[in-house]
Amino acid sequence: MKAYRAAVLRFDPLRDPHQSAVYEEDGLLVVGPGPAGVQTVQAVGPYRELVGQFPGIAVEHLPGRIIAPGFVDMHIHYPQTDVIGSPAAGLLPWLENFTFPEEKRFVAPDYFAQAATFFISELLRNGVTTAQTFATSHPESVNALFTESKNNGMRMITGKCLQDRHSPDGVRDQTEQSLIDTEALIQQWHAKGRLGYAITPRFAPSCTDAQLRGAGELAAKYPDVWIQSHVAENKDEIKWARELFPNSRSYLATYADFGLMRDRAVFAHCIHFDDDDRALMRDTGAAAAVCPTSNLFLGSGFFDYAGADRVGYRYGLASDVGGGTSFSPLHTMLAAYYVGRTSVEGLQSKPGLSLSPQHLWWQHTAGAANALRLDGVIGNLQPGCEADFIVLNPTATPLLARKTARASNLDELLFAMIVLGDDRLIQRTVIAGTD
Ligand SMILES: [Zn+2]
């Protein structure tokens, strides 16, 4: 067992997520072996109250530092690391001109192995300890990422893209083979250590009915496997999806009609929804991965936080690199704040929300874990959680030091770090108790 003394941030799962942060100025985090052989949090609380209960324990003192849960990125594309920052007129031209040409390169083993290595190191440098990421349509791209994640002891969820139509040569897969490959990858990797498989229809327009039906059958056969896809990002995309699946009530409902909405189903974007769509999310247990930097960058629209909370479905934050513009969860939280500020219905008539800093932080940690149905496992530092955490240096830059020193409460401190922070704020990233 080992303990860390610093300020400690965590979230009380029994409280309203908008105000659930718990902060110890002088805290102690005790880490030790958990039931599944993974290091977990054994105890957390005020240093003075707790230290006496662990006589002789080695304590690493980190004065002036903040220990916080590792960030959870609910939606990202590891093969698009080098697509980040590519200018395009919108989603569909961006896919055609930048994304598909890059993903075609993922047939060469050297190419995807180095991409997986760089991707993971970039996540860790930014304090992200769990990601749910798309791979490409090539099964080898999944093998490369899982192999690298296993070497790092990192919790990682990924899956091979399903896209048997409306995709260029080199990326398009074959219906039957794609489903055989998906099942083989599930059996090889899912629930092995900290790895999880996600059935990954790229988005409904890229899949035939037969492929979506097969994906739904696998989702029923393997109920603890994740499902990831995209929905209602862009108006042209929605129009196209409605033409391709005219029998479904809405674009989102297409996924339900093929058995792809349930707990552990995560849909990126979820921007252009009506209340029936929101109720479908709630009733099926599916979750939204909110991708604000991507949505602002591609001009897709604004996630409706008020609508999501009014109907009551799960959501959390995601970078969506390469449509997203940063690996940094701090940048994503700031973009989410901008999105909340922008009134959705009409953009003029209603004042926007002011999302609280602790709610923004929750959305990228405990809230994202809840959306992935991994609450109590990751994204928090409650006893029993896996010991994935970061050490923040609130004096990492001159302006951060000056601003955080003036913070008179937790929300001011968190907001200063969200607005002014980047990878320099992340001093250390600890995976399952190991640096
Ligand atoms: Zn995406």
Which domains does the chain possess? 2-70+381-430 (2.30.40.10), 71-371 (3.20.20.140)
Q: What are the residues whose beta carbons fall under 8 Å from the beta carbon of 219, sequence distance 6 or more? A: 199, 225, 227, 259, 260, 262, 265
Structure tokens at 262: 């349930």
Give the H/E segment covering residue 427.
strand 426-430
Alpha helix (H) residue ranges in 40-132: 47-50, 91-94, 100-103, 109-125
Report CA(58)–ligand 1 centroid distance (Å): 43
pTM as predicted:
0.97
pLDDT digits (tens, 9 = 90+) for 256-310: 999 999 999 999 999 999 999 999 999 999 999 999 999 999 989 999 999 999 9
Residue count (the chain): 435
Report CA(69)–ligand 1 centroid distance (Å): 24
Report CA(374)–ligand 1 centroid distance (Å): 21
Report CA(310)–ligand 1 centroid distance (Å): 25
Report CA(263)–ligand 1 centroid distance (Å): 19
Which residues are registered as beta bridge partners of 76? 133
Position 226 pLDDT exceeds 70:
yes
Structure tokens at 157: 């969820």
Given a contact cutoff of 8 angstroms between Cβ atoms, the answer to whether 318 and 289 are in contact is yes
Report CA(268)–ligand 1 centroid distance (Å): 6
What is the distance between the alpha carbons of residues 290 and 307, in angstroms, rounded to a whole number? 13
In the structure, what pLDDT confidence band is assigned to residue 348 with cuts at 50, 70 and 90?
Answer: very low
Structure tokens at 271: 């921007």
Report CA(130)–ligand 1 centroid distance (Å): 16
Position 71 pLDDT exceeds 60:
yes
Structure tokens at 32: 């030790």
Q: What is the pLDDT of residue 322?
A: 93
Grouping H, G, I as helix, E, B as strand and the rest as coil, residue 188 is helix
Report CA(401)–ligand 1 centroid distance (Å): 35
Report CA(323)–ligand 1 centroid distance (Å): 7
Give the H/E segment covering residue 130.
strand 128-134
Given a contact cutoff of 8 angstroms between Cβ atoms, the answer to whether 195 and 149 are in contact is yes
Single-letter amino acid code for the residue at 297: F
Query: Lowest-confidence range among 2-16, 164-178, 294-308, 337-351?
Result: 337-351
Position 251 pLDDT exceeds 90:
yes
Report CA(76)–ligand 1 centroid distance (Å): 6
Mean pLDDT of 362-369: 98
Report CA(229)–ligand 1 centroid distance (Å): 8
Mean pLDDT of 176-181: 98
pLDDT digits (tens, 9 = 90+) for 27-44: 999 999 998 889 999 999
Report CA(36)–ligand 1 centroid distance (Å): 32
Single-letter amino acid code for the residue at 49: E
Residue 35 CB neighbour total at 10 angstroms: 7
Report CA(77)–ligand 1 centroid distance (Å): 6
R_g (Cα) of the chain, nearest Å? 21
The closest of 125, 179, 178, 175 to 152, measured between CA atoms, is 125
In the structure, what pLDDT confidence band is assigned to residue 210 with cuts at 50, 70 and 90?
Answer: very high
Secondary structure in 3-state letters for 227-262: EEEEECCCHHHHHHHHHHCCCCCCHHHHHHHCCCCC
Report CA(233)–ligand 1 centroid distance (Å): 9
pLDDT digits (tens, 9 = 90+) for 130-171: 999 999 999 999 999 999 999 999 999 999 999 999 999 999
Give percent above pLDDT 70 in the chain: 98
The closest of 241, 243, 275 to 255, measured between CA atoms, is 241
Report CA(46)–ligand 1 centroid distance (Å): 40
Q: What is the pLDDT of residue 91?
A: 82
Report CA(94)–ligand 1 centroid distance (Å): 12
